Structure 1
Amino acid sequence: MGVRSRGFRPGRSLLLLLIGIFIGLFSTWCLWTSSTSSSFPLLKACPAPQVYHKEKGFVLIGIMTAAKYVDTRAYNVWKTWAQHVPGKVLFFVAENTTSVYSELPLVRLKGVDDSYPPQKKSFAMVKWMADNYMDSFEWFLRADDDLYIKGESLERLLRGLDSSRSHSIGQAGLGNSAEYGLLALGQSDNYCMGGPGVVMSRETMRKVSTHLQHCLEHLLTGHEDVELGRCIRKHVGVACTWNYEMQTLFHNNQSTSNKAYAGSLDEVKAAITLHPIKIPSVMRRVHSHVRTIKLNDLREKRASLLSEMSVSPSISLQRNEPSTLQDIPIFSFIDNNRIIFCSDGVNCPRHTLEQRTRGEMGRIITQLFDDFNANARQRGRVLQFQNLQYGYERLIPKYGVDYILDMILWFKKFRPPHRTTLSVRRHAYVQQSFAPLKSISENSLRWKLYGEGGHASDHIHLILPLKGRSQVFARFATHLHNTCMREKKLTLVVVLYSSPDEMETRKKMAEISTLMEVKIVEMGNEVFSRGVALTRGSSHLSADSLLFLTDVDMLISCDALRRIQLNTIYNAQIFFPIVFSEFSPDSWSENDRLLADSFHYGRRRGYFRHFGYGLAAMYKGDLHTIGGFNTSISGWGMEDVDLFEKAVKSPYHRVIRAPEPGLVHIYHPIHCDPSMPASQLAMCQGSKAASLASIDSLVQSINHLP
């Protein structure tokens, strides 16, 4: 009996092929379907529309975020620690969430919204990672958008573990005191707290992924981290790591959310994750601190390797050969009551320690004892810091910073039979060397500052409040015209109050208007208020306009304008330059009087005004975001301090302060109206006293007294 072959039918084959493709697409489109028999809304967590390429990696980090935080918290995570992890970072959001940042890798979970508590979003995220990347990564981490992760520290921990075994790693929790015993946990049960992050091995993900739907249908509490831990415990058979050290490694700050990591950062060095960091500026601060620690470690390693190769000179406090007495770098004495004594500083001979010095000395002491106690267990002894008696510090701009520290220590031997504890005193000689200078192109610098697609304006709007003082304005305008006549992208906005010499001022503005754009904002006979004037002067400009709030007594160089452009970043950074302020010419030395150039920085000629905030560069949108000027302040002073404090407190901006040699404040007598409010009067009188003469000239005057 012969076999009759079935002929080829193109139509039928094509139909079967289309049906197969349809079934394949349908089966991969929806992860779970809804059930009408359950009262609990089940998930429909479908893949994001973009195509995800399967790549081999070490750890996949999924971050839950919400629409109102995707462009702030989430984006700051993406621009900071997410760039330094050994794997991939994805941000999981509700179905209709959008972002202004196209480079942000968003995964939109279908059928998921931003409702709280986010059990549905959390379970959908874990399921999505398992279904799409199960075979591509060894480890998986569930995180929130207020978590900081030190990628290298995380990798060191996980490299010592086997991802083919079941692991659930994090800081174990049982609930707070009010919830203890109410979370339906057994005696041996716990959960990994969601805040500091939950790390799961590939094997854990493989076992739990098929049970997530069932666990979601049978929730016992409103805490998604408790329920995820319960699901892992029930279906994988492992609990969260019971280890006291995990409180340090997966660190959860117990302060209120806005104060966490805003002060001391001592806990950062030993931690792997840090939670909670809800303010973007604090996230950037922590990231900068972590990268600084990394840089210091690399420099120390480099110095050690060079020392082993015998190619570096022996360490010595004599790092330069002075040819004159003035070339000898001077040490400043640091007393144990946190007072510094020196001979060449602005506020010397005595003032409190700056935050920079306190923080740096703390890091130095921590590093010294970490290095000494690296093999403490094997050696049977440990050193513990007790207090700092005194110290010396000096800065050599060409080389680095030197410290000499006199410390009281506890020396402990804990191995029998020689157990003992002694209080000892030791000196530490520390050198922090600067890295070699590195030059980069202007385009590279712009990209580093603003990033791809960031906003940088080449047009500066100088906002100048003015009432009277036509001769001073003529000097200001003439200098601006002579030094920046080729500067095409400059607009001078004069907020003009009525005065007897108003016509002379208008004539001068007409002269320079042929070379640069000049706008006049008429204030008429209103009572003078610098805050009101600056607000009015910027009111007609767009949000992306770069402002420089200035004063008529200033001389401005074109280099200063260029640095204003580089140091001011829209939605990120506000620049308060430290200007050079002249003393009264009556106190100048003979050499200073002979100098025609105002851009001269002799000690007796003037000083950099570290406590002046009147000049500021920012974008109009940032001025509005931080709250603008207090327009209720009239007359002289206080409005600049108020604005500076708002900028410092802004969660979305960082403030940069730096001496700007291209900004010189020409001396003029200051009149302090006794009718001013007490705080303004005290500030005015202090500024008046500080601008009279240098310490050198005052000492010389005292020496010549009979």
Structure 2
Amino acid sequence: MQLIMYHNSSGREAFTKKLKSKEVHRAISLHPIKQHAYLYRLHNYMNGLKIEDAMLDSLKLRREVRFIEDELWKKYKININDENYIDNLELKRLSFDPSLTKFKPINETMMIPWDFTSRTLFSVAQLNPRRKLEGALKESMDDIVREVMESINKVSKERGRIIDFKDYLYGYHRVTPLYGSDYVLDLLLVYKKYRGRKMTVPVRRHSYLQRSFYKLETREITCQPGSGRLNSCDKLVYNSDLLLAGHINSRKQGRKLLDDENAEVGKIQKLRGESMDYYADLEKEYPENKLVLKQIDIQQEQEARKEYQEHKLEEKQEYPEHKEEKKEDDNHIGDDEYDDEPLHFTANEEIYFVVPLSGRNRVFERFLKNYETVCLVTNEPVHLVLILYTDPKDPQSKSFVFDLVQTMKDKYTNFKVKVIEPEGAFSRGVALERGASDCPDDALLFLVDVDMSFTTESLERIRLSTIKHKQIYFPIVFSEFDPSSVYRKSESPDHFLISESSGYWRFFGYGIVSLYRCDLKFIGGYDTSITGWGKEDVDLFDKAVKSNLTVFRSADPGLTHVFHKVECDNGLELKQREMCLNSKANTYVGQRVLAQFLNNDNDFKEFLAKPHLEGR
């Protein structure tokens, strides 16, 4: 009785959290619900379950119709030619019985691999084969297990037993685009017999499951004036007030779709597609009623904004305690208070290049030539901040750098540069933190190394992808393989040639980053206690992820890490040295070239052909 007349003893928190639980699904009454808003939420959730049941019943009926049609054809050669049903490709697809072999690949390239799941996920589809279970997949598997247990226990009363779910051991998962999600699950269950000879026994069960896709449904969303999240509709009308179309512009996409009174009909066809044929027929029938595009109704949008602002003002006056909470949390960048802020993109915003340097004169010379071509010749709004350390192997390297900088100053009046000379041994984290601290608080920083080559397009992407108080940009750069292995030359002929044989994308490299100085301070900056090679970039990335700011990552074809030999100091910490050696191994050559090299190596083939005894 206590299961079906379920009482939640959490007080005001009752039924305010996750509703997907066996207690909620088993019960015929739920008590107490202290907050009326959550009563509506619960009602909506229960209606959703009813809709799912109705969809499942519909699917079963479609399968029965399919079965009857097949039987009629086999026995009596009767073919049902109902255009509304049997000739509908989508309904045919839905009418197949659940099976893991529905999809039959024509060749090996069409085969859909399975992902192995346990406590972690193993997948061939991702660059990182082993990773944490994603939230969507975890929730889907929880739903599957709950539904399986409900199905098993439907007849528990008749059989005098109940089976409880204990643990999920392992399983396989894949998505077949035409039919649905397939699962093979190994479940640990507890069998409890309460009629006759009572017993409790742990059992394992393999479940072969498929969550079928349902038919495709679409919903057209019209504008909601005064909603605060959507602007008003931009109307396209006949001069006889016949409404043709409307569209919704979000604040991020801008408000302009059609602002020209002489716009062509082709622009409307992009909005309405086939429906324009109907209006074309109207024009032929009534030539005097020509199609005219009126201006976008800006007044309606302004009224909607005004209404929303008044609503927000009334809300603040009615609940002043909310305002006080905001004041206490003013420094909490990235919260909802910024959601209604317009997002600005300034094409000419100045970028501060923050570059640490110790020795490596020829590499810096190449970097400065690249900087000259991309920034100075084109008069890009940029500023170079150079953090220059003394190289113990070459104490005279500083004078070489200063000569290059002075030559560039004499050549270009728009060359803005600042050279900082810190004390002590070189440390990348310390250098970048020192360079950033000399920039204005609202400066757009591009923290980069001298090994990088960049293009004008990459600067545009930096400006576009970095948003103050909202978003930090960690570009995924392309890293070159050793050119002596790829081209048999000391240097690549084209640093922006992207192919499998020329290099690889650094998906797990976080050294290059673009963010505002104020956001760098907000997330905590670089850990200056980290010395030697690496680790400081991973630490900064972790801080960014844990903050309320959005971390944006994207492959940038305009950013290339030029190959250089990696030297891993034996004095590094174990973790740092391991990271350094892994990075060094990645830069030698690509897998395809390595496979070709080994395949053409006769000595290697002979080695593989020899019998190898265990223990030798």
Change (3 A) 1:269 1:702: farther
Give the letter aligned to residue 334 of structure 1: F
* 1:620 positional shift: 1.0
Taking the TM superposition and a 5 Å limit, the aligned residue runs for 1:192-591 are: 192-193=11-12, 196=13, 246=14, 249-251=15-17, 310=88, 312=90, 314=93, 328=110, 331-334=113-116, 336=118, 338=120, 340=122, 342=124, 346=127, 351=129, 353-355=130-132, 357-371=133-147, 386-393=167-174, 403-408=182-187, 424-429=205-210, 444-445=252-253, 451-454=339-342, 456=344, 458=346, 459=349, 460-482=351-373, 488-497=380-389, 499-500=397-398, 501-503=400-402, 505-507=404-406, 509-510=408-409, 513=412, 518-523=416-421, 526-588=424-486
What CA deviation, in whole Å up to 9, does each residue of 1:342-368 have, x standing for no partner? 4x7545xxx5x312x454432221232
Give the letter aligned to residue 619 of structure 1: Y
Rounded Cα–Cα distance in structure 1 between residues aligned with 2:151 and 2:472: 46
Match among 526, 529, 545 for residue 632 of structure 1: 529
What is the aligned length?
Answer: 421
Change (3 A) 1:518 1:429: farther
What CA deviation, in whole Å up to 9, does each residue of 1:162-190 have, x standing for no partner? xxxxxxxx9646xxxxxxxxxxxxxxxxx
What CA deviation, in whole Å up to 9, does each residue of 1:107-159 have, x standing for no partner? xxxxxxxxxxxxxxxxxxxxxxxxxxxxxxxxxxxxxxxxxxxxxxxxxxxxx
Rounded Cα–Cα distance in structure 1 between residues aligned with 2:248 and 2:380: 25
Rounded Cα–Cα distance in structure 2 between residues aligned with 1:589 and 1:318: 47
User: Which residue pairs with 2:540 in the alignment?
Assistant: 643
Rounded Cα–Cα distance in structure 1 between residues aligned with 2:408 and 2:53: 60
User: Which residue pairs with 1:222 in the alignment?
Assistant: none
Question: What's the TM-score, normalizing by structure 1?
Answer: 0.47
Change (3 A) 1:581 1:539: same
Preserved CA contact (<8 Å) 2:523 2:544: yes
Q: Equivalent residue of 1:581, what SS? A: strand
Change (3 A) 1:453 1:598: same
Rounded Cα–Cα distance in structure 1 between residues aligned with 2:583 and 2:550: 26
* 1:267 positional shift: 8.0
Rounded Cα–Cα distance in structure 1 between residues aligned with 2:596 and 2:466: 42
What CA deviation, in whole Å up to 9, does each residue of 1:33-63 have, x standing for no partner? xxxxxxxxxxxxxxxxxxxxxxxxxxxxxxx
Give the letter aligned to residue 666 of structure 1: V
User: Which residue pairs with 1:605 in the alignment?
Assistant: 502
What CA deviation, in whole Å up to 9, does each residue of 1:317-375 have, x standing for no partner? 999999996x5465255265746364x7545xxx5x312x4544322212324555678
Q: Equivalent residue of 1:444, what SS? A: coil
Question: What's the TM-score, normalizing by structure 2?
Answer: 0.53
Preserved CA contact (<8 Å) 1:329 1:395: no
Preserved CA contact (<8 Å) 1:613 1:641: yes
Rounded Cα–Cα distance in structure 2 between residues aligned with 1:561 and 1:401: 42
Preserved CA contact (<8 Å) 1:465 1:534: yes
What CA deviation, in whole Å up to 9, does each residue of 1:491-520 have, x standing for no partner? 333333452531453156438855x65322
* 1:583 positional shift: 1.9
| Identical positions, percent | 28
* 1:527 positional shift: 3.0
Rounded Cα–Cα distance in structure 1 between residues aligned with 2:502 and 2:23: 45
Preserved CA contact (<8 Å) 1:588 1:604: yes
User: Which residue pairs with 1:89 in the alignment?
Assistant: none
Change (3 A) 1:341 1:653: closer
Rounded Cα–Cα distance in structure 2 between residues aligned with 1:497 and 1:671: 18
Change (3 A) 1:623 1:671: same
Give the letter aligned to residue 491 of structure 1: H
Give the letter aligned to residue 137 of structure 2: M
Change (3 A) 1:473 1:593: closer
Preserved CA contact (<8 Å) 1:455 1:570: no
Q: Which runs of 5+ in 2 are unaligned?
A: 1-6, 31-44, 63-84, 221-246, 256-335, 391-396, 604-616
Which piece of structure 1 moves more, 451-460 or 376-385?
376-385
Q: Equivalent residue of 2:530, what SS? A: coil
Rounded Cα–Cα distance in structure 1 between residues aligned with 2:58 and 2:250: 32
Preserved CA contact (<8 Å) 1:470 1:504: no
Rounded Cα–Cα distance in structure 1 between residues aligned with 2:16 and 2:369: 61
* 1:402 positional shift: 6.0
Give the letter aligned to residue 555 of structure 1: S
* 1:667 positional shift: 1.3
Preserved CA contact (<8 Å) 1:667 1:691: yes
Taking the TM superposition and a 5 Å limit, the aligned residue runs for 1:644-659 are: 644-650=541-547, 652-659=548-555
Q: Equivalent residue of 1:579, what SS? A: strand
Change (3 A) 1:324 1:587: farther
Rounded Cα–Cα distance in structure 2 between residues aligned with 1:529 and 1:595: 28
Rounded Cα–Cα distance in structure 2 between residues aligned with 1:426 and 1:400: 18
* 1:641 positional shift: 2.4
What CA deviation, in whole Å up to 9, does each residue of 1:411-468 have, x standing for no partner? 9899999x999754222345899999x9998962489996433564632322112233
Change (3 A) 1:379 1:424: same
Change (3 A) 1:328 1:470: farther
Q: Equivalent residue of 1:570, what SS? A: coil
* 1:669 positional shift: 0.6
Change (3 A) 1:267 1:320: closer
Rounded Cα–Cα distance in structure 2 between residues aligned with 1:364 and 1:172: 28
User: Which residue pairs with 2:40 in the alignment?
Assistant: none
User: Which residue pairs with 1:674 in the alignment?
Assistant: 570
Rounded Cα–Cα distance in structure 1 between residues aligned with 2:551 and 2:586: 25
Preserved CA contact (<8 Å) 1:457 1:545: no
Rounded Cα–Cα distance in structure 1 between residues aligned with 2:412 and 2:103: 52
Give the letter aligned to residue 478 of structure 2: F
Rounded Cα–Cα distance in structure 1 between residues aligned with 2:179 and 2:374: 35
Change (3 A) 1:391 1:492: same
RMSD: 5.5
Give the letter aligned to residue 499 of structure 2: G
Preserved CA contact (<8 Å) 1:589 1:604: no
Preserved CA contact (<8 Å) 1:409 1:425: no
Preserved CA contact (<8 Å) 1:331 1:394: no
Rounded Cα–Cα distance in structure 2 between residues aligned with 1:666 and 1:435: 49
Preserved CA contact (<8 Å) 2:93 2:179: no
